[in-house]
Structure 1
Amino acid sequence: MAKQRRMSAEDLYRFEISTGARLSPDGQQSVFSLQRVERESQKKYSNLWLVSSQGGPPRQFTYGDQVDTQPGWSPDGRQIAFLSNRKNEKQFQLYLIPVDGGEARPLTDLKGEFGAFEWSPDGRQLVFNFRKTDQAELEREKDEQKKKLGVVERHITRLVYKADGSGFLPQERWRLWSVTIQNGRAKQLTEGDVYDEHSPHWSPDGQQIVFISNRSEDPDRTWDQDDLFLIPAGGGEMRRVETAPGPKEAPRFSPDGRWLAYYQSGGQHEVWRNRNLWVVPVKGEGEARNLTGGYDLQIGQETMNDIDKVQMMPPAWSPDSRRLSFQVSYHGDTLLQSIDLEGNDLQTLIGERGVVGDFSYDRDQSRLAYLHGQPDSLAQLWLCDIATGRTRKLTRFNQNIFRGVDLGELEEVWFKGPDGNDLQGWILKPPGFEPGQKYPSILEIHGGPMAQYGHYFMHEFYFLAANGYVVYFCNPRGGQGYGEAHTKAIYNDWGNGDYADLMAWVDLVQQKPYIDPARMGVTGGSYGGFMT
């Protein structure tokens, strides 16, 4: 057997990353976006791929040096809508492509930023949220002199005017739009200068659209006052759905049209609370109910990695409107679980060690496709037969890389914190580890702090291990995946209980016979940088 090499920085150019996996309505195939890096230009490109549910190699569906992303099947399974920047690197548009062959055609010709989109139940329209480019920016693009001068002034009118990764925010707000499939006619459904609208979703009969918006007097100041709203599919007067106060995400109609399911993270000013799954009657004949509040679980995806952003998926209703499935972040894993409409009978659908990302069902929920990543591999697409519970791996991207690399040995450790609290950590030993040798070590501290390290690939950790370091990391108080008390422990008190947990972890690792106490380092990003 050939000697295995170690993980390198060059491997970042080699990884292919799967995102946006969606199972076709008939369950026969899945579409996903596969990202690659062009080493020479340092640019990231992605194309759409298809893979059969019967097995066999996946096949590339779109080609070219562009970004094709967020694929979504039409209800009849004959077309795929997706976002692409193939005509303008700086401007995405919605495109349609027939599944049985043919060229992709642009559906929109708008200037601005696209968010989520969704097919109407009859397949005749898409709804999406969109933020137009500011008029001043459009004028600069047309006038060479103005373009040369650039931005000469900024008129700040809001409390939140900048964002990490975006810089100065535009004056325009996120709005709801629809576009007709047949002729590409786009229509703006909502207006205003103060509010944003997010997460649009069609009612089963196609007559209404539910969305989330913060309609308080100053949404930037009272950022956690989200509400659910209903608006006619063609636009018009909106109606607020009565719910408990707090940040909300991902509303979804039940198939029978009677209920709205959504995620809510605690109440106002209670950021430490778990994200829970709620339901509320559409017609207002009852109060909103928290289905998962009694289980002390963090609903959604919080497990960190440094290669791709694993998506938090909306709740998925069963065809009979009696159950919901959703991700759960728990003890370093992201699971897929389900619960009934009364908040009982919590079941684990996908519970293997690792992280469940994008998941989707076929029309009758006999099959489930999902992305699943583990500590020693990037996410691959899997298929689950719901009746038997049997799973099968459909893709094997990057397997040649991982087969040829010695990652070292990863050990999971549960230990007691300074207050008798249970904590979970991991120790990664370098490749070729020799028990009698003394090694330098690095403590990694995650950002957030409301997140968790866990059973998912971290290139940085394996790269450091490849260079002879013992890398160790844990989930101190303040993170998620261990209950509300664990998260609340540092609320308005950063650098106290969390620091004590980290130092208890350092003390434990320092006692290992292979640790050199004179060569112990620490690093972290964001909140992890603060703790460093």
Structure 2
Amino acid sequence: MKKLIAAEDLVQLISVTDPNYSPDGTKVAYVQTKINEKKDSYNSHIIVYDTNQGQSYAWTHGKEKSHSPKWSPDGKKLAFVSKRDETSSIYVLRTDGGEAKKVAETPYDLTQPVWAPDGKSIVCSAKLTNKESLDDEKKAEIDSYEPLEIESLQYKADGVGFTRGKYSQLVLIDFATGALQQLTDHETNHSSHVFTPDGQAIAFTANYSEDKELNYVYDIHLLSLDDKKIRRLTNENGMFSSVSFSNDGRYAAFLGHEKEFKNATLTKAWIYDFHEEKLSCLTESLEVIFEDAVVGDTVFGAVSPDPIWTKDNKGFYALATDQGNTAIYYISIEGHAYPVRLEKEHINGFSLHPEEHMAIISSATPSWPSELYELNLETKEAKRITDVNESFVNEHIIIEPEEIEFESYDGMTIHGWLLKPAEYEEGKKYPLILEVHGGPHAMYANAYFHEFQVLAAKGNAVVFVNPRGSHGYGQAYVDGVRGDYGGGDYEDVMKAVDYVLGSYQFLDETRLGVTGGSYGGFMTNWIVGQTNRFKAAVTQRSISNWLSFYGVSDIGYFFTDWQLGYDLFENPTKLWEFSPLKYAENISTPLLILHGERDDRCPVEQAEQLFVALKKMKKNVKFVRFPNAAHNLSRSGHPEQRIKRLNYISGWFEDYL
């Protein structure tokens, strides 16, 4: 007999990500991640699928985390990142056997390895200050009592804490000798690095603008390995990443946008033509975002692939977010684009077979967590080739969500899902919980969501929709929330509740709950300050006061203006009008506040202010703080804390609904 899903079942879920075909197409390296037995961290290992045998074999073992597999150009070696001592380092395994070899010695973390075309060197990333050297015998210890001198707005980052002047720099490793050469030293982060096909230069993204703190851009640059000169390919007005070169070296493909709608702008596909020295956007008129914008809680360490070129140099494949799904699109150099795989699923990674007739995708569906699938690009048929989550699926009651679609107050079509209670019985009435995602520019999708299944197992129905502001439905749709927080988006989610109450007779309109995190936490705070329809609410890592958020969040000083359209000093009254804290006196819904103490994105003071205000007014409120937890607690935080968080949420609704 199948079991109901519990919060604790999170430890059974295994995440399969980052597939990479070997150069001859006979093997696929990928990463398999799960929570360890102590429930205090994650284990991740490199697994290799043999396409001839149809079997997977573990290539790394033990308690160390291993990830980022990259085949050498000749396919005889596999580089990966592992933390086997105090630092993360790059190791290489020979495909004919033997122990993994560390390629270089340094006290600093080396990550994100990329092979040179001749296989003689690797470019990677290292976080360094301008006073640190890769040749240091050991890393300087940080004195926790030493005062922190701050001169930059970018002095902290969520999930990192105080940056202390460290930036990601490019490092070249000579594979034969292990010699290290630092290639960049600008005080900015360098990423998305890749060699040109001739191995003479490295492309990367970085912000080299004069006022990088206030001019939030990421340009594509080209570093010549001969004279170390750097050339900028984009126009210092956008945000770009994910670079790859056509096989003949004529084109560089990359993804990004020119901030026409700030961070609500759709990511597009671009190329730079080196023959004509011309930059072109290939998907200007396509209402699709070329990135994985899905929000979820069971895919650990997903790596979106860079654009993958075809052998004829006439186009490339890229991942896109589209109508509640992620898809693989083909884009030609002439600007023709179409999906080659668009199903009801969340593809979080893919790799193209060298002969281009097959692809390997890592994908999840609403009723099955992430696995690897072999996709025939000619017949479009996909065959599951891993079964790491099969026992979990077979042993538990997993509810398939029903898709819904309705018109909002202004005629805009809203798309979403309803999850029935796990032990639904005809004729019974059940409570309904509204879930609101974060972002706001993210998207719920056709993917397994553990939190929703836990709530359904407790006898709740769950409605989750993509209100205006969500990705996946075009440029105007995603931009619709900017300057209107708590306006049209509020109407959308409230209309979702009205729609399902009117469409499903088993829902009890007197037992409504609401929850969400980040922007979803803001919306939860806003909703209970505007209406008393909900009998219970749980707000997570939320925003309550835009006036203080401006100065305490790692992104507050620009995000507030980008999203609300008002500056703290020019329009403080407007920011207060958008703040749920202003409406705290109206709140009568029992409210549970969950927040991480090391959240630098939505700092814990946002929760403290709301709690103090409500407690002083003698409202029904409870505040739970998670020590050392950052903003991503629900997705990649401490496993035991994640389980406790789920039990706090389901318990609160159980008490009040």
TM bracket, shorter-chain basis:
over 0.9
Find the counterpart in structure 1 of residue 114 from structure 2. 118
1:217 aligns to 2:213 (yes or no): no
| Secondary structure of residue in 2 paired with 1:295 | coil
**One of 90, 94, 101 as aligned partner of 2:97:** 101
Aligned to 2:515: 523
Q: Would the alpha carbon gap of residues 465 and 102 (structure 1) be closer, same or farther in structure 2, given more than 3 Å must change?
A: same
Q: What is the CA–CA distance in structure 2 between the aligned matches of 1:217 and 1:259, rounded to whole Å?
A: 28
AA aligned opposite 2:476: A
In 2, the alpha carbon distance for the partners of 1:41 and 1:468 equals 27
Letter in 1 for 2:150: I
Matches within 5 A, 1:6-155: 6-40=4-38, 42-88=40-86, 91-132=87-128, 150-155=144-149
2:250 pairs with 1:252: no
Shift of 1:269: 5.8
Aligned partners of 1:531, 1:10: CA distance in 2, in Å? 28
Indicate the SS of the match to 1:223: coil
Q: Which amino acid aligns with 1:205?
A: D
1:372 aligns with 2:363: yes
For 1:142 and 1:267, the matched residues in 2 are separated by 38
**Contact 2:90 2:113 survives alignment (8 Å):** no
Is the aligned partner of 1:182 residue 2:176? yes
2:118 is aligned with what amino acid? D
Farther off after superposition, 97-106 or 4-13: 4-13
Cα distance in 2 for partners of 1:244, 1:174 equals: 20
What are structure 2's unaligned runs of at least 5 residues?
A: 525-657
How far the C-alpha of 1:233 sits from its partner, in A, is 2.7
> Partners of 1:375 and 1:441 in 2: how far apart?
19
Q: Matches of 1:399 and 1:111 in 2, distance apart?
A: 41
Amino acid corresponding to residue 233 of structure 1 in structure 2? L
What's the offset of the Cα at 1:339? 1.8
Mapping 1:248-287, distance limit 5 Å = 248-267=240-259, 270-283=262-275, 285-287=276-278
Match of 1:172 in 2: 166
Distance 1:466 1:305 in 2: 18
Q: Are the equivalent residues in 1 in contact too, given 2:254–2:269 (CA < 8 A)?
A: yes
Deviating more after overlay: 196-205 vs 285-294? 285-294
Does the CA-based 8 Å contact 2:352-2:359 persist in structure 1?
yes
- Which residue does the alignment assign to 1:200? 193
CA offset digits 1:286-324 (Å, max 9, x no partner): 431111111111111111211224332211111111011
SS at match of 1:130: strand
In the TM superposition, what is the alpha-carbon distance from 1:123 to its structure 2 partner?
A: 0.8
1:316–1:325 Cα contact (<8 Å) kept = yes
Question: 1:180-206 deviations in whole A, cap 9, x for unaligned?
Answer: 1112111101123x3322111111111
Aligned partner of 1:215: which letter?
Y
Once the two structures are overlaid, the 10-residue window that deviates more, 487-496 or 52-61, is 52-61
1:296 corresponds to which residue?
A: 287
Contact 2:233 2:279 in 1 (8 A): no
Structure 1 segment 431-510 matched on structure 2, within 5 A:
431-510=422-501
- Partner of 2:634 in structure 1? none
2:313 to 308, 311, 321: 321
Aligned pair count reads: 520
Partners of 1:97 and 1:409 lie apart in 2 by 41
One-letter amino acid of the counterpart of residue 155, structure 1: E
Q: Which amino acid aligns with 1:464?
A: L
Cα distance per residue 1:330-373 (max 9 Å; x no partner):
111000110211012x2322222101122112334233111111
| TM-score computed with the length of structure 1 as normaliser | 0.93
> CA–CA distance in 1 between the matches of 2:408 and 2:310?
41
Farther off after superposition, 63-72 or 361-370: 361-370
Amino acid at match of 1:525: G
Question: How far apart in 2 are the matches of 1:134 and 1:85?
Answer: 24
Structure-1 separation of matches of 2:23 and 2:17: 18
- The aligned counterpart of 2:231 is 239
Q: Which deviations, in whole Å up to 9, do the C-alpha atoms of 1:255-295 show, x marking residues without a partner?
A: 11111111112435632221100111125x24311111111
> What RMSD in Å do the two structures reach over aligned CA positions?
2.1
Task: State the partner residue of 2:531.
Answer: none
Deviation at 1:502, TM superposition (A): 0.7
Q: Is the 8 A contact 2:18 2:304 kept in 1?
A: no
Q: Distance in 2 between matches of 1:237 and 1:473?
A: 50
Matched, 1:417 2:447: no
Q: Secondary structure of 2:425's partner? A: coil
Cα distance in structure 2, aligned partners of 1:240 and 1:334: 31
Displacement of 1:389 in angstroms is: 3.7
Shift of 1:112: 3.3
The answer for unaligned runs of 5 or more in structure 1 is: none
Offset at residue 235 of structure 1 (A): 6.0
In structure 2, how many angstroms separate the alpha carbons of the residues matched to 1:260 and 1:142? Answer: 37
Equivalences for residues 312-391 of structure 1 within 5 A: 312-344=304-336, 346-391=337-382
Deviations 1:427-484 (A, max 9, x none): 0001221131111111000000001001011100000100111011000001100001
Q: What do residues 492-532 of structure 1 show as CA deviations (whole Å, max 9, x unaligned)?
A: 22111111111111111222311111210000011100000
Alpha-carbon separation, structure 2, partners of 1:251 and 1:136: 28
Give SS of 1:299's match: coil
Cα distance in 2 for partners of 1:96, 1:234 equals 26
Among the aligned pairs, what percent are the same residue? 31
Structure 1 residues 375 and 209: alpha-carbon distance in aligned structure 2, compared to 1, 3 A threshold: same
Cα gap change, 1:357 to 1:60, in 2 (>3 Å): same
* Greater strand proportion: 1
Q: TM-score, normalised by structure 2?
A: 0.76
Q: Deviations over 1:26-63 (max 9, x none)?
A: 11111112112223252211121111223533111111
Report the CA distance between 1:152 and its aligned residue.
1.9
8 Å Cα contact 2:209/2:236 also seen in 1: no
CA contact (8 A) 2:299 2:370 kept: no
